Amino acid sequence: MKINGAEQDGPCGVQSAVPSPSDRTRDAVARAILERGPQCAAELAESLGLSAAAIRRHLDALVADGLLVEREPRPGAPRGRGRPARAYALTDTGRAEFPHAYDDLASTALRYLRETGGAAAVEAFAEHRAATLAREIAEAVRAADAVPDRAEALAGSLSEHGYASTTQTVGAPGSAVYGVQICQHHCPVAHVAAEFPQLCEAETRAFEQVLGTYVQRLATIAHGDGVCTTHVPVTAPVHLHDPHTKERA
């Protein structure tokens, strides 16, 4: 499986490949536009030391991914002969790809809450946030009956909320490890949760509430893992013709 151009291994996928040269060049193009504002292909080619043709390929890819948008040239921009070159600007999605100060603000707010209200206040906030998330994703999960279907619906709803989630079945039916793993390849609060693990713990309880079954958090991005992994056990169905059914019951 590939996530953002990197190979993934293991049940939920652990990143095992560094970004390709093409990915690094696209990052450089986007960062140049972030730092200097909308630019045309020729300006980017000159500043990055690449050919205009190579830059245009990366610009087209970034536009296709929704990270850049084409704009008319800036008023007063130097013009040569022929049609003026179009400029490229970051979209809101493109800007969101870069680090920002929101994490620092959230961490500062939670530290203040901890200093003034103690650990119980942080716990209450984490539970409130998780309950809000549970309400937002519960409707999508409620329509599914079987646990694997509910886990799949949960992952889909989480993706709609920015968690880039997938699922993967692990183990064989009837085995002790049989279940579905929900793999969150992105966590909007990972940096904050590294200092305040209550956020991850409350989120796990919210998953249990929505799914209606016990779950186990195996890994989190906040703790340095490549993916947040939540294991949802699936109990093997009981067959009525099984002579040991009553005994097991």
Domain assignment present for residue 240? The answer is no
Q: Domain check: are 121 and 140 in the same one?
A: yes
Tokens at 46, concatenated: 């000159």
DSSP 221: G
CATH label of the domain that carries residue 51: 1.10.10.10
* CB neighbour list of residue 184: distance below 8 Å, 6 or more residues apart: 158, 163, 164, 165, 221, 227, 228, 229, 230
107 and 228 assigned to the same domain: yes
Q: Do 106 and 218 fall within a single domain?
A: yes
Query: Which structural domain range is residue 164 located in?
Result: 102-233
Token pair, residue 226, equals: 């490549």
Residue 226 domain-assigned (yes or no):
yes
* CA dist., res. 107 & res. 117, Å (int): 15
Number of domains in the chain: 2
**CATH, residue 114:** 3.30.1380
Reported pTM: 0.61
Check whether residue 225 and residue 108 sit in a common domain: yes
Give the number of C-alpha atoms closer than 13 A to the C-alpha of residue 97, restricted to the C-beta side: 18
| Residues 91 and 110 placed together within one structural domain of the fold | no
Residue 242 lies in a domain: no
CA neighbours within 13 Å on the CB side: how many for 212? 11
- Contacts (Cβ under 8 Å, ≥6 apart) of 244: none
Residue 16 located in a structural domain: yes
Is the Cβ–Cβ distance between 211 and 141 less than 8 Å?
yes
pLDDT in tens, the chain (249 residues): 333 333 344 467 554 445 577 788 888 998 888 878 888 999 999 999 999 999 999 999 999 999 999 987 655 544 445 455 789 988 878 877 776 667 788 999 999 999 999 999 999 999 999 999 999 999 889 888 899 999 999 999 998 888 889 999 999 888 888 999 999 988 888 889 999 999 999 999 999 999 999 999 999 988 888 889 999 999 754 333 333 433 332
Residues 132 and 156 in one domain: yes
Instruction: Identify whether residues 220 and 174 lie together within a single domain.
Output: yes
pLDDT of amino acid 176:
85
Rounded to a whole number of angstroms, the CA Rg of the chain reads 24
Of 168, 193, 171, residue with least CA distance to 181? 168
Residues 136, 44 within the same domain: no
Q: For residue 220, count other CB atoms closer than 10 A to its CB.
A: 23
